């Protein structure tokens, strides 16, 4: 069904769709106003003929495809300005000369292809500003090319087979960036280089540069700020390079440089300097004058302690210092004075120790000290405390030291007596109840007195400002504390800050801002809030607030319009009153707000917030469950018998019933997580009214097969086959953002940080379309406008129809904060199914030969899946944790620790006690001495009576540990421990 929205689309991103094998959507030819189109990684083998109708197309991207020829439709696009064809299979013969007759073409990218020569006719593209021919097999540049392309700003010829450049290169007077890296240019003398006076970036990495084929002067390149001459085996930096005062980034790595000249101080604007993989033994002191230097890399050299200048602390802007794989035994203390330092790499050296000032680098984020076997870290200096000794200005102010300096004998020190545990005294304290710490109580009293005095000092101002407190008793409502309300959930920062008219409609109890084109058009079944912002005579902002009530509006809309009108007044801090306006009874002041006559529209546009008592309609769907990290991926499949596979778990959603079908070869982890997902759907979407039914393969109920349209009596005659490929990968979801402008629509894809789809990408002000091929979701933000929502609905229909999809594919609309679990599962870390410890699964225990039923009855195990959905408890305060630790460990007399090695638990070395590894399993055998709880026993009897001895065995399993640890402990070590304890 056509929506008529395609002609209004200005741009769309179809990246990562499968348009191979004649799957390209034919409806694209109807987008005759499109200006940019992205078809990256769409498996295209030829240029689709539908592109020939896009006469207003300006930017076209066809990266990462399998194109070999460009003949056809591209030459018929008169407005084409940018053409990106990198990472294809294009040959020189496959580029038509007519392509370069396009007068508007300014950007051309043919990198990462199979060009052996410059395409014929390229010199006719006189409007080119950006040309990228890198990563091809080009051996020479035609002489006529640079005669005509004099407007070039960017030229990339790297990674080719060029041995020289034509003399006409000097005509590129406007060139800003030149990349010649990885070309055998040994015979090229760079005589044309000084003529490129506008050059800002020059890359000659691995171009066989020597001191003989380097220009004698580069003084004319006064604008050059970035220079890369790495990997050229230069014995030293050419002298002409020191005469470039505006350099900001210099890469001299992978050469044979043995020393640096003091002329390096002329690079006063230098920010990044890379000298890695050279033969430097020392850095000149002049490098300390580069006050703007932020990054200094000297990895893989021969620097020792004397090779780093002591004045390096003058580099006040230095953020990164990397000196790995050198001969450093120590670093100068001045390096610790670089206050801006964030990353320090000293790995693979011969470090013995570091300066104590290393602890003073508060902004240091990364410190790499790997492969320094003899390194001993200096102790961290303690915090300065009055009277503590050498803490202030390195002077000892202690009484003993000062008496010695005065010539007097210091008083004898009283040795501190070590306190030993008195078990009898503690038993008496246990009977008396919880102990009280007098020191803590006195400290709390003093702190309280100080706080009261401080509050009084702050409350007492000048005598003139002091007003006596009224003795009149307050009314009950005056003494109530007003709650703090966050109005930013309803209104935006710019609301009421610019003169004009702003209107909100009430939808689901909340205000929703409408577009300016809809002002003055009110639905009879809706309510609106109208804000007029103006400037008074003093130039201050003033406001008038109205709320309009439609004759057919429901009670919730009427009440919320009045409430949010008051909220808007409080949010703005306005002193005006809110004015009620009713349909057909508006005041003249209200009607004067609009330029045109107010019109009424029959019906209501927004939904009421009240629940409607009606039966929900559900679409029956079948999902195949795949593992996806700690969560699961639900792949929609056809509700058909042939869709079942014995290696997987399936979930059949029938609305009021959720069937979980477990294949005979499905993994226990998937089975359990499928049940967890069903529990979540029932709890969050079905109000716990859904019935969850587990069906095992071969034991299915008749109702289950009726949903598939299969006669239960004929099921035994059919066989469920393994048909899902072992290398199955779900389609990567594509997230589009719907953008609306003045008369146009755009559908760009959202850039994913770290290539992960996370729910934080969703903005409440926008509308998004998530295309998962078999599912297409339309997500509406709470603060999105009406027009964008309407456009998204039409775009979703077109996007759904223009791509060939299976018959069971669906379009689903979702409101913010009411998303379904299926939608949430598409995002990483959004309310995902919790990872469960499956060490006690039936299969793993059965392999040991143990009787699982007998063991379960003895353990009295219970499985309550609802407990997995409880909120996480808050962390315990440190003081409470320390007190609890002291109370629990006071009775601890002895502890023995064991670790699993192979198939046996061995005693844990004492030096490893307290260190836990995620791939290991530990057992702790603890012996506690518990006092007798008898209030009538006196002190003498306590001394003679034996305390009760209790032993507790703790088992700790790392997250990445296998099942063998728990099984060995349960069926071997635990039994032996009990026998030993019973004998003792």
DSSP calls for 308-321? S-GGGGG-TT--EE
Q: Is residue 873 located within the same domain as residue 922?
A: yes
- Distance, CA of 628 to CA of 828 (rounded, Å): 9
- Distance, CA of 110 to CA of 64 (rounded, Å): 11
Total domains in the chain come to 4
Q: Is residue 494 located within the same domain as residue 593?
A: yes
- Distance, CA of 568 to CA of 479 (rounded, Å): 25
* Chain-centre distance for alpha carbon 57: 34
Q: Is residue 816 located within the same domain as residue 892?
A: no
Q: Is residue 53 part of a domain?
A: no
- Distance, CA of 69 to CA of 94 (rounded, Å): 4
pLDDT averaged over 10-residue windows placed end to end, the chain, 984 residues: 75 90 86 90 90 90 92 85 94 90 93 93 91 94 88 94 89 92 85 87 92 84 92 90 92 93 91 95 92 94 92 92 94 90 94 89 90 89 49 54 61 50 56 52 63 62 46 50 64 86 88 85 91 88 91 89 89 88 90 88 76 65 87 90 92 91 89 88 85 90 88 84 89 91 84 85 92 93 86 90 89 89 89 50 48 48 44 68 75 84 84 84 84 51 55 84 76 68 59
Q: Is residue 810 located within the same domain as residue 871?
A: no
Pairing of strands 541-549, 775-780: unpaired
Q: Is residue 401 part of a domain?
A: no
- Distance, CA of 964 to CA of 919 (rounded, Å): 12
**Residue where a domain stops, chosen among 825, 857, 892:** 825
pLDDT in tens, 313-338: 899 999 999 999 999 999 998 898 89
Q: Is residue 888 located within the same domain as residue 952?
A: yes
Q: Is residue 821 located within the same domain as residue 877?
A: no
CATH number at residue 504: 3.40.20.10
Q: Is residue 815 located within the same domain as residue 909?
A: no
- Distance, CA of 534 to CA of 127 (rounded, Å): 50
pLDDT of residue 401: 65
pLDDT in tens, 945-981: 456 777 888 888 887 787 777 777 776 776 676 666 6
Q: In sequence order, which residues have a C-beta less than 8 Å from that of residue 253 and are 6 or more positions away? A: 230, 231, 274, 275, 276, 277, 278, 297
pTM: predicted TM-score of the whole model, two decimal places = 0.66
Q: Is residue 287 located within the same domain as residue 339?
A: yes
pLDDT of residue 432: 54
pLDDT of residue 668: 86
**Residue where a domain stops, chosen among 377, 408, 442:** 377
pLDDT of residue 283: 93
**Residue where a domain stops, chosen among 377, 393, 410:** 377
Q: Is residue 782 part of a domain?
A: yes
Q: Is residue 334 part of a domain?
A: yes
pLDDT of residue 878: 77
Q: Is residue 150 part of a domain?
A: no
- Distance, CA of 136 to CA of 90 (rounded, Å): 10
Enclosing domain of residue 922: 866-935+942-982
Q: Is residue 760 located within the same domain as residue 819?
A: yes
pLDDT of residue 349: 94
Q: In sequence order, which residues have a C-beta less than 8 Å from that of residue 416 and are 6 or more positions away? A: none
User: Would you state the structure tokens that stand for residue 441, as one six-digit string?
Assistant: 């109580």
- Distance, CA of 459 to CA of 676 (rounded, Å): 57
Q: Is residue 563 located within the same domain as residue 505?
A: yes
CATH number at residue 871: 3.40.20
For 445, other C-beta atoms within 10 Å of its C-beta total 10
Q: Is residue 887 part of a domain?
A: yes
Dump strand ranges (E) for 366-484.
366-368, 390-392, 395-396
Q: Is residue 8 part of a domain?
A: no
Q: Is residue 550 part of a domain?
A: yes
């Amino acid at each position: 069904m056509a929506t008529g929205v395609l002609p209004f689309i200005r741009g769309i991103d179809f990246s990562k769709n499968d348009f191979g094998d004649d799957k390209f959507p034919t409806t694209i030819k109807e987008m005759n106003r499109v200006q940019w189109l992205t078809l990256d990684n769409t498996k295209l083998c030829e240029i689709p003929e539908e592109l020939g109708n896009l006469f207003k197309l300006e930017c076209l991207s066809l990266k990462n495809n399998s194109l070999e020829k460009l003949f056809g439709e591209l030459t018929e696009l008169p407005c084409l300005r940018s053409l990106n064809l990198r990472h294809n299979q294009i040959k020189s013969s496959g580029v038509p000369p007519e392509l370069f007759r396009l007068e508007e073409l300014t950007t051309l990218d043919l990198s990462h292809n199979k060009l052996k020569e410059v395409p014929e006719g390229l010199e006719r593209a006189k409007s080119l500003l950006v040309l990228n021919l890198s990563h091809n097999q080009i051996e020479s540049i035609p002489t006529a090319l640079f005669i005509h392309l004099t407007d070039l700003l960017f030229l990339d010829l790297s990674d080719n087979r060029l041995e020289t450049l034509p003399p006409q290169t000097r005509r590129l007077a406007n060139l800003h960036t030149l990349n010649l890296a990885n070309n055998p240019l040994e015979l090229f003398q760079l005589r044309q280089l000084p003529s490129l006076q506008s050059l800002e970036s020059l890359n000659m990495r691995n171009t066989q540069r020597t001191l003989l084929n380097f220009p004698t002067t580069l003084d004319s390149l006064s604008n050059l700020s970035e220079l890369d001459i790495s990997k050229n085996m230069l014995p030293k930096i050419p002298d002409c390079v020191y005469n470039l005062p505006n350099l900001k980034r210099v890469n001299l790595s992978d050469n044979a440089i043995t020393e640096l000249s003091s002329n390096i101080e002329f690079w006063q604007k230098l920010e990044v300097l890379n000298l890695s993989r050279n033969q430097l033994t020392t850095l000149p002191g002049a490098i300390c004058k580069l006050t703007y230097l932020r990054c200094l890399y000297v990895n893989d050299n021969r620097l020792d302690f004397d090779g780093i200048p002591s004045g390096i602390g003058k580099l006040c802007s230095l953020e990164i210092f990397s000196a790995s794989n050198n001969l450093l035994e120590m670093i100068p203390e001045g390096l610790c004075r670089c206050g801006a330092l964030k990353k320090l790499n000293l790995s693979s050296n011969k470090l013995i120790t570091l300066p104590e000032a290393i602890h003073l680098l508060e902004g240091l984020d990364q410190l790499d000290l790997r492969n320094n076997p003899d390194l001993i870290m200096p102790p961290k200096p303690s915090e300065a405390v009055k009277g503590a000794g050498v803490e202030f200005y390195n002077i000892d102010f202690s009484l003993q030291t000062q008496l010695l300096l005065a010539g007097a004998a210091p008083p004898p020190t009283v040795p501190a007596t070590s306190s030993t545990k008195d078990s009898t005294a503690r038993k008496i304290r246990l009977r008396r109840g919880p102990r009280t710490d007098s020191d803590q109580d006195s400290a709390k009293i003093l702190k309280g007195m100080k706080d009261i005095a401080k509050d009084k000092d702050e409350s007492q101002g000048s005598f003139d400002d002091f007003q006596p407190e009224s003795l009149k008793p307050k009314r009950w409502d005056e003494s109530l504390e007003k709650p703090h309300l966050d109005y930013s959930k309803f209104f935006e920062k710019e609301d009421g800050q610019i003169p004009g008219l702003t209107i909100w409609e009430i939808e689901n109890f909340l205000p929703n801002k409408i577009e300016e084109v809809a002002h003055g058009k009110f639905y009879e079944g809706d309510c609106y809030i109208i804000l007029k912002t103006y400037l008074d005579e003093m130039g201050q902002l003033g406001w008038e607030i109205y709320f309009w009530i439609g004759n057919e509006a429901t009670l919730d809309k009427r009440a919320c319009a009045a409430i949010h009108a008051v909220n808007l007044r409080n949010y703005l801090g306005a002193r005006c009153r809110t004015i009620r306006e009713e349909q057909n009874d508006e005041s003249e002041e209200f009607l004067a707000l609009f330029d045109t006559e107010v019109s009424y529209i029959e019906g209501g546009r927004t939904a009421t917030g009240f629940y409607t008592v009606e039966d929900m309609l559900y679409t029956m769907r079948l999902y195949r469950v795949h593992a996806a990290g700690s969560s699961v991926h639900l792949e929609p499949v056809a509700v058909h018998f042939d869709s079942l596979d014995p290696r997987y778990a399936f979930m059949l959603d029938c609305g009021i019933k959720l069937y979980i079908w477990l294949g005979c070869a499905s993994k226990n982890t998937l089975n359990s997580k499928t049940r967890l997902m069903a529990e979540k759907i029932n709890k969050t979407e079905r109000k716990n009214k859904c019935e969850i039914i587990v069906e095992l393969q071969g034991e299915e109920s008749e109702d289950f097969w009726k949903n598939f349209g299969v006669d239960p009596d004929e099921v035994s005659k059919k066989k469920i086959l393994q048909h899902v490929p072992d290398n199955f990968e779900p389609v990567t979801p594509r997230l589009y953002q719907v953008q609306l402008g003045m008369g146009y629509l755009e559908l760009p894809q959202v850039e994913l940080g770290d290539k992960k789809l996370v729910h934080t990408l969703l903005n409440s002000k926008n509308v998004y379309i998530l295309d998962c091929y078999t599912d297409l979701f339309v997500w509406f933000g709470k603060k999105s406008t009406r027009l964008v929502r309407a456009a998204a609905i039409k775009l979703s229909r077109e996007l759904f129809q223009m791509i060939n999809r299976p018959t069971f594919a669906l379009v689903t609309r979702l409101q913010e904060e009411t998303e379904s679990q299926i939608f949430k599962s598409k995002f990483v870390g959004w309310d995902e199914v919790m990872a469960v410890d499956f060490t006690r699964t039936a299969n793993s225990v059965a392999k040991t030969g143990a009787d699982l039923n007998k063991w379960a009855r003895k353990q009295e195990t219970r499985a309550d899946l609802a407990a997995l959905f409880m909120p996480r408890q808050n962390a315990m305060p440190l003081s409470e944790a320390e007190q609890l630790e002291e109370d629990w460990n006071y009775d601890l007399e002895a502890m023995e620790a064991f670790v699993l090695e192979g198939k046996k638990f061995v005693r844990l070395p004492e030096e490893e006690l307290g260190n836990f590894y995620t791939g290991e399993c530990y057992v702790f055998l603890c012996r506690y001495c518990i006092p007798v709880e008898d209030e009538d026993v006196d002190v003498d009897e306590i001394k003679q009576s034996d305390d009760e001895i209790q032993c507790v065995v703790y088992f700790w399993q790392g997250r990445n540990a296998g099942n063998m640890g728990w099984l060995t402990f349960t069926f071997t070590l635990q039994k032996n421990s009990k026998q030993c304890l019973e004998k003792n």
